[in-house]
Amino acid sequence: MKHYIQFTILFFNCFIFSCQPSDKNALTHDEIRDLAIQRGNLISEKTQMVLGSKLKSVVQNEGIPQALKYCNVNAYPIVDSLQTIYHAKIRRASHKTRNLSDTPDKMEQEIIDGYIKAIQKGETPSVEIVLGKKEVHYFKPIILSAALCLNCHGKIGSEITEENYEVIKALYTEDNATGHEMGDLRGIWSIQFERDSFQKNDVL
Ligand code: HEC
């Protein structure tokens, strides 16, 4: 009888644990955080590279008005592919929006406020990860660090010609994305991943 009970307990233990194979594959918070940083960096760097080189070539070869549509992440098919591959939602948000759909939500606004404070203190703002129950948020500062950007985000009348600003204003009636200087926070990358999409042995 004693053996029978022991065997039954053993059997049920095995049964219960074998029903939870996911435990073995569960990632710790730190592991998810590291993977999210790698994935977010890869996505934001790739997108920024494609966007930056296209903007540059269109500004040089065709002019500012023609280049306006290329400072929108949704204009790039690569963004759609990255969203599918990584189960991600990719967007940018800003405290000084041109496109109102880039208006920050509460969490994004808190991150932006933190970045602005860091810059004011002379610190370098860096990537932040917020772990939710079902999702993982990646945030990264977008610092205005190329003279190219001033053509459309700098001072009106000097860096942005009056003529070009009329075109911008006609497209974005509530534009607030001017007056920037080099080194300013222009906005943030805001990328949301599904928490379940991170697996053990993920390459990225
Ligand atoms: C040819 C003009 C032009 C140049 C050059 C340009 N932008 Fe933009 N930028 C725009 C326009 C137009 C939008 C709004 C796009 C949209 O409709 O989503 C925008 C939007 C943005 C946004 C999203 C927030 C918002 O205001 O809606 C960020 C961030 C941004 N630009 C950063 C940059 C940076 C950094 C550079 C330099 C690498 C740059 N831009 C160069 C025209 C430009």
pLDDT at 199: 82
pLDDT at 24: 62
Sorted by where each begins, the domain ranges of the chain are: 29-197
| Percent of the chain surpassing pLDDT 70 | 86
92: three-class secondary structure by DSSP: strand
CB burial readout 61-92, b (16+ within 10 A) else e: eeebeebbebbebeebeebeebbeebebebbb
Q: Torsion angle, CA of 94/100/102/105, rounded to 10 degrees?
A: 90
Q: What's the pLDDT band for 25 if we cut at 50, 70, 90?
A: low
Mutation choice for ligand 1 from 94, 150, 153, 156, CB with most ligand atoms inside 8 A: 153
Entry field: residues in the chain = 204
Gap from CA of 85 to ligand 1 centroid (Å): 25
Q: Give residues with Cβ within 8 angstroms of 94, minimum separation 6.
A: 102, 104, 112, 142, 177, 186, 187, 188
The count of other CB atoms within 10 Å of the CB of residue 166 is 10
pLDDT at 11: 47
Average pLDDT over residues 7-30: 58
Counting from 1 in the atom list of ligand 1, the atom nearest the Cα of 176 is 26
Q: What's the pLDDT band for 6 if we cut at 50, 70, 90?
A: low
Counting from 1 in the atom list of ligand 1, the atom nearest the Cα of 52 is 38
Mutation choice for ligand 1 from 59, 91, 98, CB with most ligand atoms inside 8 A: 98
Counting from 1 in the atom list of ligand 1, the atom nearest the Cα of 64 is 1
| Percent of the chain surpassing pLDDT 90 | 83
Structure tokens at 68: 């306006």
pLDDT at 1: 53
Among protein residues, the one whose CA lies closest to atom 12 of ligand 1: 68
Counting from 1 in the atom list of ligand 1, the atom nearest the Cα of 151 is 5
* Whether residue 164 has its Cβ less than 6 Å from ligand 1: no
Q: What's the pLDDT band for 23 if we cut at 50, 70, 90?
A: low
Q: Give residues with Cβ within 8 angstroms of 92, minimum separation 6.
A: 73, 102, 142, 187, 188, 189, 190
Q: Does residue 94 have a pLDDT over 70?
A: yes
The count of other CB atoms within 10 Å of the CB of residue 161 is 13
DSSP assignment letter at 27: P
Per-residue model confidence as pLDDT tens digits over 107-137: 999 999 999 999 999 999 999 999 999 999 9
Between CA 146 and CA 179 the distance in angstroms is 14
Q: Taking the complete model, does pTM exceed 0.85, yes or no?
A: yes
